[in-house]
Structure 1
Amino acid sequence: MTRILEVSGLTRRFGALRAVDESSFHVDEGEVVSIIGPNGSGKTTTINLLSGELKPDGGAIRFRGRDLAGLSADRIAGEGLRRTFQNGRVFANATVEENVLIGQAPLARATAPLKPLRRMPIIRWAALVVETVLAIVGTPAQRREERERQQRAETQLERFGQRLLPRRDHPAWTLSYANRRRTEIARALASDPELLLLDEPTAGMNTAETQEVMHQLLDLKAQGQTILLVEHKLDLVMSVSDRIIVMDGGQVIAEGTPVEIQNDERVIEAYLGKRRGTIAARTHDVASAVLDDEGEAR
């Protein structure tokens, strides 16, 4: 399998606290890899480092051979990584459809032909002037790109069926919490991510809503979508993951298949401390502990 992401020695400190402590792992193309761990173990911080929300204090993040460590969030998105957030973020005053269209900004070519120049002092104004002129005049390439954007948005709205399609023209602030989370996932998917980073996509959802998301993740997996998932709900993790990475205290303490992780003593101890009993019984306790968790220290 092609290794799409390789993380080595990733470190992030907040004062004296090492939120991520020389963490190393990889993701292969087409895999669904989940990161689990107790609250404060460094899961969300890891996603924030990968997506450019935070800059690492050390280590490498290699995506298709290129080191992304320290790049800005927009440049990392331009490389093909897209994400959702632990605390859902949508553009509240934009409609559902507009949110999904906005998510495709990294794909803009005809409307932003000089995008690399934006990062250069003085010269960046030339890029902005060109984009302004193109927005006023319009070109066949722009119109073609707009049709493609609309089609991608339609595809993702259809993925969520009656949850989003009838609400496509509704402002996002009018949506239920679960539908705001669905809008955020649709927005990330609409830009054809090479690697989709999902940070607790079912947080705040009830059992039925979580099951819906699980089936959608399984559909994405069947389509070959590469996913790195942070999630507390162990039933979902065990159902969709090819491999699971377990973090505790900012470090990776275990990695393996779902079956291997369920029977790993280090994982059981990380969640519950040193306790006696059968592996099966303690694994059930781990599942219960994870299902009861609702958040993580960032």
Structure 2
Amino acid sequence: MTDALLQVTDLERHFDGLKAVDGVSFTVAPREVVSIIGPNGSGKTTTLNLVTATIPPHGGTITLDGARIDRATTASIAEHGIARTFQNGRVFATLSVADNIEVGIHSTLHATRPFRRLSHVFLLRWIPLLAELFVAIFGTPAARRERAVIDATIETEIDRFEARLGPRRDDPAYSLSYANRRRTEIARALALQPKLLVLDEPTAGMNQSETAEVLAQLLDLKAQGQAILLVEHKLDLVMRVSDRVIVMDGGRIIAEGPPQVVRRDPAVIEAYLGRRRGHGEEDAE
């Protein structure tokens, strides 16, 4: 697809001979929400890790907006326009909510990060470091203008979760509830204003009402045109928010299509919903 935002082609990753991702190909279009589901161990999170350069692939290609990113570093992947959250949640425990969100903006800065592209050149990394130190100590008009943009972005993302994060904006992340740490992580990812938002089980560990809040926020992001690649076990949320659903089993894609079509696919019923055991029950894992 020439109009794809993300294009994954014949992606492969193995661990000690086990093919965790085996020839996986899919696309995400601009403004599209694509969810990946499947039983535990099917390769969902490994696929996200490959797309976000957390681990390198052993084969295949990944492009974002036509640019190859399958050999990108984790330091540069955000500059390409991808932001993500993690399955087990990752925040900077001793930083405040506001400071955690500010971290998400780091890769977009210019005035406060002079010569930032040199940071990828090993022998020249000292140049941007000294430049950043100079700007931090003495400041520049451009840096002060950029600071105002940073502050506005932080407020925008806190407002997105105002009832939960607003009163806690200056509290350290370690003092937050599990659900609020997950919200902080999502807000940090959104602060990048990413081309593609990658979410790995954003409602893991949340109760029914907390999950409903996240669903509402995802639907709001979808209405705003945010492209999302989502891994999630809660099928009701997946079916409501997704434009397209990809089903993985054994490292391969076994079904793909609109939510209601995928839900009725016999291969999905067998592999994902647990019918292979003959009990007829739905297994959300």
Normalising to structure 1: TM-score of the pair? 0.92
Identity of aligned residues (%): 55
CA shift at 1:136, angstroms?
1.3
Give the letter aligned to residue 157 of structure 1: I
Please state if 1:73 is matched with 2:74.
yes
- 2:88 match: 87
Partner Cα separation in structure 1 for residue 259 and residue 120 of structure 2: 43
Stretches of structure 2 that go unaligned for 5 or more consecutive residues are none
1:254 maps to 2:258: no
Q: C-alpha displacement at 1:5, in angstroms?
A: 0.4
CA distance in structure 2 between the aligned counterparts of 1:84 and 1:275, rounded to whole angstroms:
33
Deviation, structure 1 residue 242? 0.2
In the other structure, the counterpart of 1:161 is: 162
Q: In the TM superposition, what is the alpha-carbon distance from 1:274 to its structure 2 partner?
A: 3.4
Partner SS, residue 137 of structure 2: helix
The aligned residue for residue 183 of structure 2 is 182
- Cα deviation per residue 1:185-239 (whole Å; 9 max; x = unaligned)? 0000011011000000000000010000000000000000000000000000000
Partner Cα separation in structure 2 for residue 121 and residue 223 of structure 1: 39
- Summarize deviations over 1:128-185 as a string: whole Å, max 9, x none: 2222112211111111111111111101111112100000011100000000000000
Equivalent-residue separation in structure 1 for 2:129 and 2:261 (angstroms): 53
Q: CA deviation at 1:2?
A: 3.3
Correspondence 1:1-298 to 2 at 5 A: 2-271=3-272, 272-274=274-276, 285-286=281-282, 289-290=283-284, 293=285
* CA distance in 2: counterparts of 1:2 and 1:109, whole angstroms: 29
For 2:262 and 2:277, locate their aligned partners in 1 and report how far apart those are by CA, in whole Å: 17
How far does residue 273 in structure 1 lie from its aligned partner after superposition? 4.3
Unpaired segments ≥5 residues, structure 1: 294-298
Q: CA deviation at 1:113?
A: 2.3
Instruction: Give TM-score scaled by structure 2 length.
Output: 0.96
Q: Deviations over 1:17-38 (max 9, x none)?
A: 1111110000000001000000
Aligned equivalents of 1:102 and 1:274: distance in 2? Answer: 45
CA distance in 1, matches of 2:276, 2:232: 23
SS in 1 for 2:122: coil
Q: CA deviation at 1:16?
A: 1.3
State the AA in 2 paired with 1:251: R
> 1:90 and 1:209 mapped to 2: Cα distance?
19
1:296 aligns with: none
Give the Cα–Cα distance (whole angstroms) in 1 for the partners of residues 3 and 28 of structure 2. 9
